[in-house]
Amino acid sequence: METAIVAGVGAERGLGAQLCLRFASLGLHVLVAGRTQEKLSKIVGMIEAAGGSAEAVCVDVTSEEQVQTLFANTPGTLSLAIYNAGNNTPGAIADMEASYFEASWRVACFGGFLFAREAAKRMTEQGKGTILFTGASASTRGKANFGAFTAAKAGLRQMAQALAKECGPQGVHVGHVIVDGAINGERVATRYPDYAARLEAEGLNLEGIVDAYEYLYGQPSKAWTFELDLRTSTENW
Ligand SMILES: NC(=O)c1ccc[n+]([C@@H]2O[C@H](COP(=O)([O-])OP(=O)(O)OC[C@H]3O[C@@H](n4cnc5c(N)ncnc54)[C@H](OP(=O)(O)O)[C@@H]3O)[C@@H](O)[C@H]2O)c1
């Protein structure tokens, strides 16, 4: 059995869920991992209805013990592990509570380390596998009012690059996908209703983003990409 773990899954029209649906359609048994059981069960139901194989795993990615249990209970050969958890945490640094900064870092960066460590141990033992991380515009640039988020996402990116260099020679491909702009999905539409109407024209297309993960997953070891950055044709970058 070839297995994939996707950590950070929620709404059906979210990147995590769409990654689960795609890789299940390619024949992988998918562990649909996130923190809200109801949302996870819905995605598993959709995969099974389409003839795929999946299981829901309720996990807080910031808990070392829970992440270790997630991997310990993962059956088969772990072919793919995707760390997608991340919350956009806006706020000016001068006004920011220390706990807010830390909580942002725990989800977007520290959890990525916990996940990466378990995936790397398992995959280097196997001598193969792919570990992918979801980045954002914040991964490569600081922006006013996003100090916490950008610190966390940039940390995740650099950790991923170090991991790529450590694991590559042992047959494990590590990649990072920068989603540079708002996704035309559920999170932005519900959190920022004023922007929702513009998303269709200005938001990144979920299918296109998922294609990028599939491309990285399918690369041969003599032509590996570490990073892809994705944006709409109209994004101001
Ligand atoms: N949405 C955008 O416009 C956008 C733009 C650029 C980059 N990104 C990045 O893309 C990724 C996915 O974004 P998305 O908006 O499409 O969301 P998504 O994939 O639908 O959901 C991400 C999920 O992560 C889960 N999560 C958060 N904290 C967690 C924790 N401690 N333990 C376990 N799961 C946790 C959330 O669960 P709950 O649903 O239960 O809260 C959420 O459903 C994120 O890394 C984000 O930074 C998003």
Give the domain CATH number at 111.
Answer: 3.40.50.720
Domain-embedded: residue 76? yes
pLDDT of res. 116: 98
Token pair of 215 as six digits? 């491309």
Query: Quick one: which atom of ligand 1 is closest to the CA of 206?
Result: 16
176: left (phi over 0), alpha (psi -120 to 50) or beta: beta
In a domain? residue 3: no
Whether 18 maps to a domain, the answer reads: no
pLDDT at residue 93 in the model: 98
CA distance 61 to 158: 19
Residue 109 lies in a domain: yes
What is the structure's pLDDT at 197? 82
- In the reported structure, the alpha carbon of residue 105 is separated from the centroid of ligand 1 by a whole-number distance in angstroms of 14
pTM over 0.75, yes/no: yes
Position 147 in a domain: yes
- Tell me, using a 6 A CB cutoff, whether residue 84 lines ligand 1: yes
Residue 219 maps to a domain: yes
Which residue, 175, 192, 162, 185, is CA-closest to 229?
175
Q: Which of 88, 199, 207 for a ligand 1 pocket mutation test, highest count of atoms within 8 Å of Cβ?
A: 88
Q: Is residue 40 part of a domain?
A: no
The domain of 156 spans: 67-230
What is the arrangement of strands in the sheet containing 129-136, beginning at the earlier edge strand? Answer: 53-58, 29-34, 2-7, 77-83, 129-136, 172-179, 227-230
Please say whether the beta carbons of 24 and 30 come within 8 A. yes
Q: Is residue 32 part of a domain?
A: no
What total of structural domains would you count in the chain? 1
Structure confidence at residue 224 (pLDDT): 98
pLDDT at 110: 98
- For ligand 1, atom 25, the nearest C-alpha belongs to 8
Tell me, using a 6 A CB cutoff, whether residue 16 lines ligand 1: yes
Tens-level pLDDT at each residue, the chain (237 residues):
999 999 999 999 999 999 999 999 999 999 999 999 999 999 999 999 999 999 999 999 999 999 999 999 999 999 999 999 998 999 999 999 999 999 999 999 999 999 999 999 999 999 999 999 999 999 999 999 999 999 999 999 999 999 999 999 999 999 999 999 999 999 888 888 888 888 888 899 999 999 999 999 999 999 999 999 999 999 888
